């Protein structure tokens, strides 16, 4: 039995602009994704002479057929070159529904791992197209590079940004992405970025609405803003503050109100999952 353990990293949207709404109901957007060196952990154990796919661990009672990890494995199964099944064990470290990409990252990590273990021999581009069937954020995790995303999130433009320390805080609310993106008060007319744009001039178009709908998010942002520049990631509920060093971030984490969860991590230009996978293959 061959076993592989990989991280499924968190992501932050350092900005999120909504440029318009398409006829099919999806939104045109621009967002800067960066990865953190912290995330869920998945262990893949091959099962010889089997087509079985099982998911164990911190699945939060989600039915197997609705689990993104299982869906990713099922999508890839038709490409496998060897007769083996897989048991996938999830250790959940990221908050669910927090906007840090936990489910999408888990799905992308599954695609990347099984592409190797099952000898599917698909390219990153082919895996990203498969991942798009699972969610708009999955391709960026498959690609594994800090990038500006355009379109519905599938058009990726890699870029380099400064490395910082982040404190990520999850207030005890679950934000409905569907509610946010269908709400009439959501801004949908932010102009597209032009050459020479600066991160300091960007924002999150969902943030004002989410603060109104979920007062606990507004409370979290206000508390963090006392210590450092602060934004919400994605549609929330997680909020983050940026620091120059670990010690400063840790001090604020230690004073976090007990009803909130949080963690500190550095951003990375390449996903930790990709680095681990490359080391394992070598």
- 57 annotated as a binding-site residue: no
- 203 annotated as a binding-site residue: no
Tell me how far apart the alpha carbons of residues 130 and 111 are, in angstroms, rounded to a whole number. 9
- 102 annotated as a binding-site residue: yes
- Helix boundaries (H) for the chain: 68-77, 102-117, 124-132, 138-143, 177-182, 207-213, 215-224, 246-254, 272-281
- 99 annotated as a binding-site residue: yes
- 151 annotated as a binding-site residue: no
Active-site annotation holds for 71: no
- 232 annotated as a binding-site residue: no
Instruction: Spot the catalytic one: 11, 71, 164, 211.
Output: 11
Buried/exposed 44-69: b ≥16 CB within 10 Å, e otherwise: bbbeeeeeebebebebeeeeeeebbb
Peptide bond into 164 cis (omega under 30): no
Decide: 10 and 94 in contact? Cβ < 8 Å.
yes
Decide: 265 and 179 in contact? Cβ < 8 Å.
no
- 104 annotated as a binding-site residue: yes
Decide: 103 and 135 in contact? Cβ < 8 Å.
yes
Strand partners for 39: 9
- 159 annotated as a binding-site residue: no
Active-site annotation holds for 74: no
- 96 annotated as a binding-site residue: yes
- 144 annotated as a binding-site residue: no
Surface-to-core class of residue 23, CB atoms within 10 Å of its CB (0-12 exposed, 13-18 middle, 19+ buried): exposed
- 101 annotated as a binding-site residue: yes
Q: Please count the other Cβ atoms lying within 10 Å of the Cβ belonging to residue 215.
A: 11
Instruction: Spot the catalytic one: 40, 71, 80, 137.
Output: 137
Active site residues: 11, 137
User: Known binding site: residues?
Assistant: 95-105
User: Known binding site for ATP: residues?
Assistant: 95-105
């Amino acid at each position: 039995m061959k076993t592989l353990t990989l991280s499924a990293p968190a992501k932050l949207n350092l900005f999120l602009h909504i440029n318009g709404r398409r006829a099919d109901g999806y939104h045109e957007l621009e967002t800067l994704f960066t990865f953190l060196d912290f995330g869920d952990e998945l262990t893949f154990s091959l099962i010889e002479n089997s087509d079985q796919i099982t998911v164990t661990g911190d699945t939060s009672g989600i039915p197997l057929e609705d689990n993104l990890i299982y869906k990713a494995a099922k999508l890839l199964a038709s490409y496998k070159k060897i007769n083996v099944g897989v048991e996938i064990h999830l250790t959940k470290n990221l908050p669910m529904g927090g906007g840090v990409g936990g489910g999408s990252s888990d799905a992308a990590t599954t695609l990347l791992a099984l592409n190797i273990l099952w000898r599917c021999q698909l390219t990153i581009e082919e895996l990203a197209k498969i991942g798009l069937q699972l969610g708009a954020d999955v391709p960026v995790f498959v690609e594994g590079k800090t990038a500006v995303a355009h379109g519905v999130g599938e058009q990726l433009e890699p870029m380099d940004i400064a490395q910082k320390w982040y404190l990520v805080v999850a207030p005890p609310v679950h934000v409905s992405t569907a509610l946010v993106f269908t709400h009439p008060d959501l801004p949908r007319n932010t102009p597209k970025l032009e050459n020479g744009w600066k991160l300091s001039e960007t924002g999150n178009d969902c943030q004002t609405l989410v603060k109104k709908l979920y007062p606990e998010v507004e409370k979290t942002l206000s508390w963090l803003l006392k210590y450092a520049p602060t934004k919400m990631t994605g549609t929330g509920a997680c909020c983050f503050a940026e620091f120059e060093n670990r010690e400063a971030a840790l001090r604020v984490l230690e004073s976090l109100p007990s009803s909130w969860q949080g963690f500190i991590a550095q951003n990375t230009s390449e996903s930790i999952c990709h680095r681990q996978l490359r080391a394992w293959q070598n």
